[in-house]
Each structure stands twice: as C-alpha cells, then as structure tokens.
Amino acid sequence: MAVHEPEPLFDAAFAGTVIEWRGPAPFLFVPVPAAHVDELRLAARLASYGWGVVPVKAEVEGVHFTTSLFPRGGGYLLPVKVAVQRAAGVEIGTLVTVRITVQG
C-alpha cells in the first residue's frame, strides 16, 4: 500500500544569492524572492509553529534538508546550515538554485 504525502501548502523553485546575516553563526541565508512572499505567508498561517517561523523541506544545489524560514524585513530567509554549505559547495555571494516546500 503506497503512502501519499498531502499536497504541499507551498512549493517553489528559484535562484538566489547566498548572504550573511549578522546573528547566530554558522548560518548563511538565501532570501526568498518577493514574488513568492504573499503565497508563502498564506501557507505560513497553517504551518508556522510560532514567531512567524515556517518549517520547510529545502533543496540547495541538489542537497536536501529540513529547516525553518525566518521572517525578516517583510520577507523570509532560508538558513543554509554549515553541512549544506559544505555539501553544496556554497559560500557568501554564490548564486544557487533552491526549492522549498511547506507541508500541511
């Protein structure tokens, strides 16, 4: 018997540049493009577990991981953990391909 995951509340692929955010190290971040923010906010209403943080399944340069988006400046930042940075070969200023999914 096959197990089916529910339809995602939000799913998007985009390109973004890795940035540093002064705060808790050792994370770098990829900003979610403004074009996705309104739809992501709708999904966040159902998926957020508080403080506007949104749990996601993410992929950066083919490396899959789970994390939570951080609300920042009217948008969202995708944290890129050190293990993902190393596996994907990314650093500050790298243009990366990203996919994020918010499950219901």
| Mean of per-residue pLDDT scores for the chain | 90
**pTM metric for this prediction:** 0.88
How would DSSP label each residue in 22-60?
Answer: SSSTT-EEEEPPHHHHHHHHHHHHHH--STT-EEEEEEE
Query: Are the CB atoms for 58 and 64 separated by under 8 Å?
Result: yes
Confidence at residue 14, expressed as pLDDT on a 0 to 100 scale? 98
Contact 53, 68 (CB under 8 A): yes
pLDDT tens-place string over residues 12-44: 999 999 999 776 566 799 999 999 999 999 999
Q: Which CATH superfamily is domain 10-29+36-65+74-102 in?
A: AF2212/PG0164-like (2.40.30.100)
Q: What are phi and psi of 96, to 5 degrees?
A: -125, 155
At residue 94, does pLDDT exceed 90? Answer: yes
Mean pLDDT for 60-85 is 94
Short-list 71, 64, 68, CA closest to 79: 68
Confidence of residue 48 (pLDDT cuts 50, 70, 90): confident
The structural domains of the chain, with segments of one domain joined by +, span 10-29+36-65+74-102
For range 49-70, the mean pLDDT? 92
Residue 94 backbone zone (phi > 0: left; psi -120 to 50: alpha; other: beta): beta
Q: 42: closest CA among 77, 68, 11, 4?
A: 11
